[in-house]
């Protein structure tokens, strides 16, 4: 209820909802409950490039979480 503007912008209809952004674009999302392993897999899929190389500073990534902490 505190972030109704964001919830409306991203059409949140249920919680929890996790959105992964690259810059200003949503690149992945998980709607509903997900175990930690699934969330980490989503994040790693986008920022891990193999051979232990992560995307350090080339792109801005952030996560938007809607739910109860």
pLDDT tens-digit readout, 48-69: 665 555 555 566 777 888 787 6
Query: What distance in Å separates the CA atoms of residue 69 and residue 67, rounded to the nearest whole number?
Result: 6
Which has more pLDDT, 7 or 29?
A: 29
Cα–Cα distances in angstroms (integers) from residue 22 to residues 2, 18, 69, in the given order:
24, 13, 24
pLDDT of 13-60, one tens digit each? Answer: 778 889 888 888 888 999 999 999 999 899 888 876 655 555 555 667
pTM for the whole structure: 0.71
């Amino acid at each position: 209820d505190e972030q109704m503007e964001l919830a409306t912008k991203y059409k949140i209809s249920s919680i929890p909802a996790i959105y992964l952004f690259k810059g200003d674009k949503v690149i992945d999302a998980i709607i509903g409950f997900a175990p930690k392993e699934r969330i980490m897999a989503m994040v790693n899929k986008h920022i891990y490039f193999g051979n232990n190389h992560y995307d350090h500073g080339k792109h801005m990534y952030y996560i938007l979480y809607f739910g109860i902490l």
